Amino acid sequence: MVTDAQQACFEAGIKFGSLYHQFAGTPVSPDSAESLERAIAESIENQPFCESVTVDIDADALADAADDHGYVELTGRFMDVEMRIEYADVTVRTEMAMEDGYPLMRLVGVE
Amino acid sequence: MVTDAQQACFEAGIKFGSLYHQFAGTPVSPDSAESLERAIAESIENQPFCESVTVDIDADALADAADDHGYVELTGRFMDVEMRIEYADVTVRTEMAMEDGYPLMRLVGVE
Amino acid sequence: MVTDAQQACFEAGIKFGSLYHQFAGTPVSPDSAESLERAIAESIENQPFCESVTVDIDADALADAADDHGYVELTGRFMDVEMRIEYADVTVRTEMAMEDGYPLMRLVGVE
Amino acid sequence: MVTDAQQACFEAGIKFGSLYHQFAGTPVSPDSAESLERAIAESIENQPFCESVTVDIDADALADAADDHGYVELTGRFMDVEMRIEYADVTVRTEMAMEDGYPLMRLVGVE
């Protein structure tokens, strides 16, 4: 027996895992950060029950970390993500942000 | 307010999204299916709260779909996955299998 | 002993393999195709010696193939790519397009 | 006009870019390094003209870098790769190793 709230949380997790492992490793620079933010958000919003995705890539952090070629491979340390999932009557709010050097994905609210 | 069961379901979803989007697209043939099954399972079992992962790649389906070079890119249509997540006192069982041509990830049980 | 032309061709290959395996599997729909085209191009242009990348995702083909949720996972059958690599005095032109159902990456010119 | 040697170098580059961007980001620990090495090698060996791939993941470096959960996401800093490509009468030897903190892919020989 699975409740709608549990299913909604499962769906939220799928989106986070998808987002992270699809796009981690992408070459990104301060100049290309904006197009990548938009593409990630629009891509994951295609998935079922995913109402909105906001991706914020930290261009300053990219600039600090960039190699001699001016870019880095995207990891969680360079981006914050917020997501809203709607399943049946349940709305789940989630976010990913750095915590102790680890990109922590967490449930912010289940309503 | 998030319950342990909801958190456990969120964690289960993360693992599924990770598994799928990390490994989709991997070149795979009947001969290399076994090493890929094992690597996928052991990789995702590294993630927090993930107690066991079983991946079954369908070598016959690979053989049927293989191109002239003898391989395909891995997609959900070629694999079944089962996973057990343990968070606090909650055990979540999940699986991915094809349903109507779509690789459906679902919660089997939350206990 | 490696010539500049050989090195330029090696660099061109790296960009193609990177592009394909970074972005294959990305959820994409007719509506999100444009942002993904731009993000792929700008991302790969970050790589060394990569002067220009053009990505054309076929929105009609996406619409035909879309599942009940209105999207597909990106594969080579949905996109054409052109790339120009410049290494030392050598310019390499490459493209990826479908040939016999297989996304063929090829060298168009080495000058 | 493209020579066989140039084509062989292009093929070699494709394999390196594929390998890197398919598997970068994979969760890996000292215990799971061996299965991942084998799966990466067997996967890329499926690709056309790719005669052999050797992947060496540095378990000590993984252990040093592992987070509280005991794993890291795979990047070039944790692995050395050697590859042999054969196209027509040309053999290309390539390797990837760290140089100045950047995972450098290079042509070792074209014969």
10 Å Cβ neighbour count for A111? Answer: 10
pLDDT at C21 over 80: yes
pLDDT at C32 over 90: yes
Residue C85 structure tokens: 């690599």
pLDDT tier at A1 (50, 70, 90 boundaries)?
confident
Would you list the DSSP string of D13-79?
A: HHHHHHHHHHHTT-EE-GGGHHHHHHHHHHHHHTSTTEEEEEEEE-HHHHHHH--TTS-EE--GGGE
* Mean pLDDT, range C34-38, rounded to an integer: 98
C21 touches chain A (CB under 8 A): no
Q: Report the chain C residue with the minimal C-alpha distance to residue A35.
A: C39
CA dihedral (A94, A99, A104, A107) positive or negative: negative
CA dihedral (D3, D4, D9, D10) positive or negative: positive
Distance CA(B95)–CA(B84), nearest Å, equals 9
Write out chain C residues lying below 8 Å of A32, CB-based.
39, 42-43, 45-46
Please write the tens of the pLDDT for every residue from D4-42: 999 999 999 999 999 999 999 999 999 999 999 999 999
Write out chain C residues lying below 8 Å of D11, CB-based.
13
* Mean pLDDT, range D59-84, rounded to an integer: 93
pLDDT at A62 over 80: yes
Q: Report the chain C residue with the minimal C-alpha distance to residue A49.
A: C69
What rounded mean pLDDT belongs to chain B?
Answer: 95
Report angle CA C65, D46, B69 to the nearest 5 degrees. Answer: 65
Residue A23 structure tokens: 């796009």
Lowest mean pLDDT among C35-39, C54-58, D69-73: D69-73
Which pLDDT score is estimated for D92? Answer: 98
* Mean pLDDT, range D35-60, rounded to an integer: 97
Which pLDDT score is estimated for B22? Answer: 98
Nearest Cα residue to C13 out of B54, B43, D92? D92
For the CA atoms of A11, A13, A18, A20, the dihedral, rounded to the nearest 10 degrees, stands at 160
Please write the tens of the pLDDT for every residue from C64-83: 999 788 999 999 999 999 99
Which pLDDT score is estimated for C5? Answer: 98
**More confident call, C103 vs B44:** B44
Contact C11, C93 (CB under 8 A): no
Which amino acid, D67? D
Which pLDDT score is estimated for D102? Answer: 79
Helix, coil or strand: residue D80: strand
Report angle CA B50, B106, A56 to the nearest 5 degrees. Answer: 70
Residue A104 structure tokens: 């922590």
Nearest Cα residue to D29 out of B86, B42, B83? B42
Which pLDDT score is estimated for D50? Answer: 98
ipTM given for this complex: 0.95
